[in-house]
Copies of this chain bind each other. A is one copy, B any other.
Amino acid sequence: MDPRIEEHARILVEWSTEVKAGDMVVINATPDAHELVVALYRAIAKAGGRVVTLMNSEEALRAFYDGASEETLQVVPEHLKAITETCDVFIALRSPVNTKALANVEPKRIMIDNKTQQEIQSIRLGKRWSLTVHPCQTLAQQANMSLEEYRDFVYGAILIDWAEESKMLYVMKEHLESHKDIRYIGPETDLFASTEGRIWIASDGKHNMPSGEVFTAPVDDSVEGKIYFDIPFLQQGKVIEGVRLSFEKGEVVDFSAEKEEATLKSIIETDEGSRRLGEIAIGTNRGIKQYTLNMLFDEKIGDTIHCALGRAYKDCNGVNESAVHVDMIKSMHKGEIYAGEELIYSKGRYFYES
């Protein structure tokens, strides 16, 4: 076995979810993630946990949606609820065979099922949980890489010193919370947002793996100015590129995209909340050196910032509500970030790197 798979498992068990003796662990995995499942079983056993794996298959889910009546989709899966309630740790491994398997399912059917499973999802989020990927051909292809290259990319992002990364992220979090606002400056960009009363969250590998960002929700009416997102991103099966947004009193007043502007328009016009920012953030993971159209990785790229239109996270004290949460990323190599009057990032260096 590639020793990096064992190391990935070790990080998930020891750092991300801190499995200890007697813990009940549930893994949720696609069949293609089997190697990482094997490595996790060894690591969990060593930590003294007991483990059960749920097989996650888009093809099977598609077949279920094909066959189920709306009534069936409203039946709560009590067995899934029971295993979720009784577990201490939940580890999800994404290694899709075909990311488009659900593309032609009537969206209403997925919505009904999601609503039915909402309670189970929130039970899950109350556990120690982690979400990661296992490198596979499907994700490599989506990233425009061979599988070998993609493996190097994934492990470059994940096999880092998380204790060290965490220390820096908490320095950043405390620094940002000691100020009342943030400002992104760069090419075609000057965006201001108040963060007064908000909590900045240091994402240090306890949930998302990879992690490496600090994020919060801006005060609703405070966002002013304009921003240019130069990193492409995937939404509704489309790659949107070169997004420009202008804000007044927290709302988008002008927008454009170099590619797929119609998709951007439909996102912004989803509902009231989709015209506002639900998240502002700084990516810090220098192990991620390029975008791969996978938001789990792209929003963490070092020397970037990102903002999301739509839903805010409650644990930031965010209030904006929306059916969408769409992240957009900007590289900051030529930019600056201010917290209050203080320059905290400039041309490739965070303040703590001096």
Q: Interface on A for B, CB 8 Å cutoff?
A: 21-22, 24-27, 29, 31, 34, 37-46, 48-55, 57, 59-61, 63-69, 71-72, 75-83, 85-87
Q: How many copies does the complex hold?
A: 2
> Which B residues are in CB contact (< 8 Å) with A59?
34, 38
> Which B residues are in CB contact (< 8 Å) with A82?
82-83, 85-86
Q: In the complex, what distance in Å separates the CA atom of A53 from the CA atom of B42?
A: 21
| CB-based closest 7 A-B pairs | A45-B67, A45-B68, A31-B31, A42-B63, A83-B83, A53-B55, A82-B82
Judge whether A50 and B79 touch: CB under 8 Å.
yes
Contact (A53, B54) CB under 8 Å given A78-B24, A79-B83, A86-B82: yes
Choose one: B49, B53, B79; the contact of A26 (CB below 8 Å): B79
Judge whether B67 and A22 touch: CB under 8 Å.
no
Q: In the complex, what distance in Å separates the CA atom of A26 from the CA atom of B77?
A: 10
Q: In the complex, what distance in Å separates the CA atom of A269 from the CA atom of B87?
A: 43
Judge whether B86 and A79 touch: CB under 8 Å.
yes
State the majority secondary structure of interface residues on A: helix
A159 CB to nearest B CB, Å: 20
Judge whether A79 and B63 touch: CB under 8 Å.
no
Closest chain B residue to A49, Cβ basis: B72
Q: In the complex, what distance in Å separates the CA atom of A31 from the CA atom of B37?
A: 11
Closest chain B residue to A87, Cβ basis: B79
Judge whether B79 and A64 touch: CB under 8 Å.
no
> Which B residues are in CB contact (< 8 Å) with A42?
63-64, 66-67
> Which B residues are in CB contact (< 8 Å) with A78?
24, 50, 86
Q: In the complex, what distance in Å separates the CA atom of A53 from the CA atom of B59?
A: 13
Contact (A64, B45) CB under 8 Å given A50-B77, A72-B50: yes
Judge whether A48 and B24 touch: CB under 8 Å.
no
A298 CB to nearest B CB, Å: 29
